[in-house]
Amino acid sequence: MCLGIPGQIVKIIDSKQLLATVDVAGVKRPVNIACIVDDTHPAESCVGDWVLVHVGFAMSRIDEEEAQKTLELLSELGEVQQEIEAMKESQTLLDS
Q: Which residues here bind other proteins, judged by CB under 8 A? A: 1-4, 17, 29-30, 32, 34-38, 52, 54-57, 59-60, 62, 66, 69-70, 72-73, 76-77, 83, 86-87, 89-90, 93-94
Q: Cβ closer to other proteins: 10 or 41?
A: 41
Three-class secondary structure of residue 31 per DSSP = strand
Give every CB contact of residue 57 below 8 A, 6+ residues apart in sequence.
Answer: 31, 32, 33, 34, 35
Specify the residue, 10 or 17, whose C-beta has the smaller distance to other proteins. 17
Q: Based on CB atoms, which residue is closest to other proteins, 15 or 30?
A: 30
